[in-house]
Amino acid sequence: MSSNVITASVRQTDAKPWVDELHQWLATVDHKRLGILYIVSALMFLVIGGVEALIIRIQLMHSHNNFVSPEVFNRMFTMHGTTMIFFVAMPFLFGFANYLVPLMIGARDMAFPRLNAFSFWLSFLGALLLYFSFLGGSGLYGAGNAPDVGWWSYAPLGARAFSPGA
């Protein structure tokens, strides 16, 4: 098990090494790098979801507060729930699993590395798409229309009449 080193010939370095580095991260199919990408994206959304939680808590700090409008308040608890479950908790756990399972069983990578990479980029772009809803569309209340009907999105609130743009 010891003396586990393979020496490779030194690669030609790019004139712009950071471009090379970025390219390696974006195009990676290595389970370790994908695990770290999952974890870093989850950290980013942990901070975003945390800010949403703080807005909720400032609003509820005392009675008859109007720190945010009721519409924004609804968006905050909806986005907080969706963000924390789908873009924080699950990516964190998938990231650690992605990184550690092959190492623990003595494997060199996951069975389908490209599928693994595809999976990360789908979930990350999905998260960006959800947050794009703050910017895109006219919505019920003018500026942006992030979902505001709770993370369950119970029918008929998810229907077009009640969530026109989301």
Partner 1 sequence: MELNRMPLFAWLNLVMAGMVLIAITPLSAAQIMLLIDRYLGGHFFDTQAGGSAVLWMHFFWIFGHPEVYVLIIPCFAFMSEIIPVFSRKPIMFTIGMNSYANSFFTLTTMAVGVPTGIKIFNWIGTMWGGRIQFKTPMLFSIGFLFQFLIAGLTGIMMAASPFDWQLSLSYFVVAHFHYVIVGGILFALFAAFYYWYPKMTGRMLSEGLGKWHFWLFLIGFHLTFDVMHVPGILGMPRRIYTYEPSRGWDTLNFVISIGAFIQALAILVFVANLIVSYFKGDKADNDPWDAWTLEWSISSPPAAYNFATVPTVGSRRPLWDEKHPEDPDSRYE
Q: Which residues bind partner 1 (CB under 8 A)?
A: 1-6, 30, 32, 35-36, 43, 46-47, 50, 53-54, 57-66, 70, 73-74, 77, 84-85, 89-90, 92-93, 96-97, 99-109, 150, 152-156, 158-160
Scored b (16 or more CB within 10 A) or e, 90-116 reads: ebbebbeebbeebeeeeeeebeeeeeb
Cβ atoms of 118 and 111 within 8 Å: the answer is: no
CB of 131 to partner 1, least distance (A): 18
CB of 72 to partner 1, least distance (A): 9
Q: Please identify, using beta-carbon distances, which residue of 15 and 161 lies nearer to partner 1.
A: 161
Q: Please identify, using beta-carbon distances, which residue of 101 and 115 lies nearer to partner 1.
A: 101
Q: Please identify, using beta-carbon distances, which residue of 6 and 15 lies nearer to partner 1.
A: 6
Separation between Cα atoms, residue 162 and residue 21, nearest integer Å: 45
Scored b (16 or more CB within 10 A) or e, 52-63 reads: bbebbeebeeee
Q: Please identify, using beta-carbon distances, which residue of 3 and 9 lies nearer to partner 1.
A: 3
CB of 135 to partner 1, least distance (A): 20
CB of 26 to partner 1, least distance (A): 16
CB of 134 to partner 1, least distance (A): 19
Q: Which residue has the tokens 């700090």?
A: 61
